[in-house]
Structure 1
């Protein structure tokens, strides 16, 4: 593919993380001449977050390959309906069905170890007298549950720099499932203690995705960046057809 025909890769992070989680993947993609964008997701609501990412996608001239990690998978399931999205890539992520919420999909399977490590805190909601609820991971348990195969020094930094997810995001239903109309790839992190790997497998298989399994913690982008980059490039190559 010529540089002019290459799609832009948009990397969408998930809950309890930010775009820096893609730090080891971005150089591998740009080395192949790809344009990459890794926006900050508000992590306030599924519908609001998807609307924001959709607006980012609409502002990109030309085709887009949309990549979502973890909760970011739910976000791209909705935002991926944008006309210029050519392919979707799920990394240890949630592939929701139309009308399904995160809570509903997760509730079909045994809870992961993360369930007992969540911390809840109120936050002010503009224009409302009722606070929202932020969900994060206990700092002491974060490295083992989220980043067991990431360098301990880095995992410690990630633990104290989490981007919480508002609790309402777990209950909002996806109004569309973009994987129904867009070719999709899914990566199962087989040593994931944050999302039950069976949740990942089920969503990918239901969607008929091309699926790979990788021995990794939840933060597969940091522990196995080469494998993640290869999968994204597979999706990029598909846009040439």
Structure 2
């Protein structure tokens, strides 16, 4: 079809009612206040950025902990339309927020925070959660296959056209194995059918000068990750000079290990 790109090769605790309302607002990307409103003035706002095949609700448990500890939290919807476009969108969101800011990226979200934080003086720390932390000129696909072990290949994906391109989805029957093997199947079945796809051009789009060169970074390494091999995560964390924590977790470490994830974010915020 004219203009259509072919898919590229892939590589005081709140009440229960308040918690439910807070989860819905987080998933919608809303800036959340906390019960300890006065304490938020002295603590950074935490910006939680999801990756592909997911949405902001994956941060719910982590956000709940951060809210309890007096942080302001926002989990914006990542458009997943391409690295440059997604980074520009996040940068525009950051421009509406008072500093200081701590940016947290999961998976592809790590590429987005790496680019969106550049030249923003309000960003005091970057946190990568089982995420990509690219250097200038590197692509998502290049980093994903640099080390053996990823189970996200073309056989695990469905490609569907959209105006001007193709989106990639993880096949439902492969979703739990690739993405979230340590979560209950009834949870991953729902995640599979509600996943948000990423435009396939993102795989080969080169990253810009990384913000981790000038902003302190932290890295949560998921040892049992079937999407980004742990060896690749260690390589990127070491290169960025990040303070690292390793946990026994699948790719969705923020869901299976929310306390460890929140603890690292709180450490970065200090």
Match of 2:84 in 1: 47
Q: Distance in 2 between matches of 1:201 and 1:146?
A: 19
Q: For 2:161, which of 103, 122, 127 is the aligned residue?
A: 122
CA deviation digits over 1:103-141, x for unaligned, max 9? 22223222511213122121113xxxxxx1111100111
Q: For 1:170, which of 184, 196, 203 is the aligned residue?
A: 203
Match of 1:33 in 2: 70
CA deviation digits over 1:8-28, x for unaligned, max 9? 000000010000000111110
Cα distance, 1:90 vs structure 2: 0.1
Cα distance, 1:203 vs structure 2: 0.7
Q: Distance in 2 between matches of 1:62 and 1:93?
A: 24
Q: Give the CA RMSD over aligned residues.
A: 1.3
Matched, 1:209 2:247: no
Which secondary structure state, in structure 2, belongs to the residue aligned with residue 92 of structure 1?
strand
Match of 1:76 in 2: 113
Which secondary structure state, in structure 2, belongs to the residue aligned with residue 208 of structure 1?
coil
TM-score by length of 2: 0.83
Match of 1:129 in 2: none
Match of 1:64 in 2: 101
CA deviation digits over 1:69-91, x for unaligned, max 9? 00000111101212211100000
Q: Distance in 2 between matches of 1:2 and 1:139?
A: 43
Q: Is the 8 A contact 2:101 2:124 kept in 1?
A: yes
CA deviation digits over 1:187-209, x for unaligned, max 9? 11000111111111111111110
How many residues align? The count is 231
Looking at CA atoms only, which structure, 1 or 2, has the larger radius of gyration? 2
Q: Distance in 1 between matches of 2:252 and 2:98?
A: 30
Any unmatched runs of 5+ in structure 2?
Answer: 1-37
TM-score by length of 1: 0.93
Which secondary structure state, in structure 2, belongs to the residue aligned with residue 134 of structure 1?
strand
Q: Distance in 2 between matches of 1:2 and 1:135?
A: 42
Which secondary structure state, in structure 2, belongs to the residue aligned with residue 114 of structure 1?
coil
Any unmatched runs of 5+ in structure 1?
Answer: 126-131
Q: Which has the higher contact order (CA 8 A, sep 6+)?
A: 1
